[in-house]
Amino acid sequence: MKKNLLNYSKNEIPMLFESFGEPAYRAEQLFIGIYAHSYSDFPSFSNLPKSLINTLTKQFELRSFKLIREWESEEDQTTKFLWQLKDGMKIESVIIYEGQRVTFCISSQVGCPLDCKFCETGKMGLLRNLTQAEIVEQVVLMKERSKFKPTNIVFMGMGEPLLNYDAVMQAADIFSDSQGLGFSRRRISISTAGIPPRIYQMADEDRPYSLAVSINAPTQEIRKKIMPISKKYTLNQLMHSIRYYNNVTGKQVTFEYVMIKGVNVSENHARQFITLIKKIPGKINAIACNSDDTVYKAPSEEEIKNFENILLDAKQPINIRSRKGSEIQAACGQLYAANEEQGIKMVYINKDLI
């Protein structure tokens, strides 16, 4: 079976070429061709000798996805892709157009093990982690299909990125490499439901990417009901890891808040949330719940505005996000790729983490 070259880091390609008896500069030519020029096959590399092209063609591949379906919103041009992976499993990813901002929302796992009650992806359970190549290929293929030049990448698609830490960080390194895909590091956002050990790790490794944390509740009692991960890691433990991250890196955190009618948007909830995040430099991204479950409804416009005003009066910067692509099931929390029953669950995730 051919290996996927998208699984190789920039530092690993020279070692591969050394084993072929090729000079190091050939590795740089390959890396630039794959990412800067978006070559999808080896014959496209006119600057490589034919003997090397033949060797690479026999042993490696640059594409493994099959596009099953593509949806485009008539309202805002948000585009959702359903990809089939080489083993037959399926994932979804999304392009969001917002003026000059073009965001790629990508997946890190096939499904998700965290079972957040308002999220469709959680209903899939987890089939497996994505490889570095499968994470990278989403961006490579969407870049080819995007109407405009992409500006941002968010790990907010299917899966919990911090439970696939190594592959996510390796992919982000390729996205931000100046000879690779060339994204600004601060415009690559890792969104997590809250895995404190990995937040500490991000801080200690001084990872240059933005951190977004889905808080979604002002108290442990509420959060535990809608986000089962809080049974493993309490809200206090999560907030401690966020403070540590801010102290060590000096970087702000984005607090994500899914507003759910009757659950977390009352005046009291807003004031509790202010107390929770007090003195932690950051910003708030809030969005109305997109769940099809009648238990988890979006609040009224009045409730959303009241919640927003209380935060603003307390000098807490808050942005109420619009629900882009909701009519094509592409909005936050709506991604669900139907997969056949594979008879497998978590394969190489440390079960102590969840």
Whole-number Å distance between alpha carbons of 93 and 69: 11
Report which residue type is found at 111.
Answer: G
Collapse the DSSP code of 287 into the 3-class scheme (helix H, G, I; strand E, B; otherwise coil) and give the result.
Answer: strand
Catalytic residue among 112, 119, 289, 332, which?
332
332 is catalytic: yes
* Inter-residue contact 214 to 189 (CB < 8 Å): no
Matching residue, tokens 């469709």: 120
Closest CA to 116 of 217, 201, 190: 217
Kindly tell me the burial class for residue 143, based on how many C-beta atoms sit within 10 Å of its own C-beta (0-12, 13-18, 19 or more). middle
Whole-number Å distance between alpha carbons of 271 and 329: 32
Catalytic residue among 22, 61, 92, 308, which?
92
Instruction: Supply 26's token pair.
Output: 């050939």
DSSP 302-317: HHHHHHHHHHHHTT--
Instruction: Supply 200's token pair.
Output: 């500490």
Residues pairing with 80 in the sheet: 71, 94
Angle between helix axes 235-249 and 196-204 (nearest 10 degrees) is 10
327 is catalytic: no
Collapse the DSSP code of 3 into the 3-class scheme (helix H, G, I; strand E, B; otherwise coil) and give the result.
Answer: strand
Q: Please give the C-alpha separations between residue 51 and each of 13, 34, 45, 47, 58, in angstroms, as whole numbers.
A: 17, 18, 12, 12, 11
Report which residue type is found at 173.
Answer: D
* Inter-residue contact 149 to 99 (CB < 8 Å): no
Please give the positions annotated as active site. Answer: 92, 332
